[in-house]
Amino acid sequence: MSETTLDAPAQVPGTRRERPKRDWGNPTIYLMALLLVAAMLAPVVYIILGGFRTNSQITNSPAGLPSPWAIGNYLDVLRGGVFWQEVVNSTISAVSTTVGVVVLGLMASYVLARYRFRGRAAMYTLFAAGLMFPMTVAITPLYIMIKSLGLINTLPGIILPQIAFALPVTVIILVPFLRAIPDEIEEAASIDGCSRLGFFFRMVVPLSVPGVVTVGILAFVGSWNNYLLPLFILNDQDTFTLPLGVQAFASQYSVDTAKVLAFTSLSMIPALVFFSLFERRIVGGLTGAVKG
């Protein structure tokens, strides 16, 4: 079917060609890359280093380095309960959103990719059109709806809409993946007595891991960083996720810049770690290649 669009077995683990000779290439490339990295990291480094300074250091020399290094700000934040409560809230929200998006998205994409039925085109268009409905447009009625469902100030109140709004991208990325699974595999499975649902769980789920990782990370990072929805739905400090927490902290301790910077740096760690671990997979997953 879609062999024309997609070469299915794009990469088999272990076939990655190694360069025989290790030459270092052009030094200007490294210089440019270095400048680039410096430009992209400078503000982040400013935030992290700022957390190691005292307020008087920051006032006297806003762009200076910590001297001496003060770790009190970080320790204060880590000892306080507020930060950890918000980490827990963010984690619950991000993990539930990711699981929900992957499970629902995979099931719907499987139907779209491998069943033939009337209304399939309409269903695909419905999800694809979802890209046109960003949360900004829907936020006011969404707030009213969540309120009438009694989910204001609860984490499900942000998790459910997050799942719904992540579905379009998920479906659009996953459908080509599932479609690229060769028919022969399904035929072989069916000859061996595997039902279509059995095929789904035994073959489709394992084979779609690269795509699932991509959409999973996008959903996780999107949920972790979401600001608009929690801003509307969560008003109770106990339910705050980290972005709201950072902002609340920044206005509460607006004179204590160093502490704000420490809080801010600590709150970016989880998403950074998560993304760094899987960065390669994202690029790979977006190219839509199915590893056979």
Q: Which positions from 259 through 288 interact with another protein, judged by CB under 8 A?
A: 260-261, 264, 267-268, 271-272, 275-276, 279-280, 282-284, 286-288
Q: Using CA atoms, how far apart are residues 211 and 177, in angstroms rounded to an integer?
A: 7
| Contacting residue, 77, 94, 102, 167, with another protein by CB under 8 A | 167
| Contacting residue, 19, 81, 184, 193, with another protein by CB under 8 A | 19
Among the listed ranges 18-26, 65-73, 80-88, 91-99, the one in contact with another protein (CB under 8 A) is 18-26
- 188 is written with which tokens? 């072989």
Decide: is 91 part of the binding site for another protein (CB under 8 A). Answer: no
**Smallest distance, another protein to C-beta of residue 291, A:** 8
**Smallest distance, another protein to C-beta of residue 81, A:** 20
Decide: is 130 part of the binding site for another protein (CB under 8 A). Answer: yes
For residues 50-89, which are near another protein according to CB under 8 A? 50, 59, 61-64
Among the listed ranges 72-80, 81-89, 91-99, 105-113, the one in contact with another protein (CB under 8 A) is 105-113
Among the listed ranges 9-17, 66-74, 81-89, 91-99, the one in contact with another protein (CB under 8 A) is 9-17
**Smallest distance, another protein to C-beta of residue 85, A:** 17
Residue entry with tokens 């705050």: 240
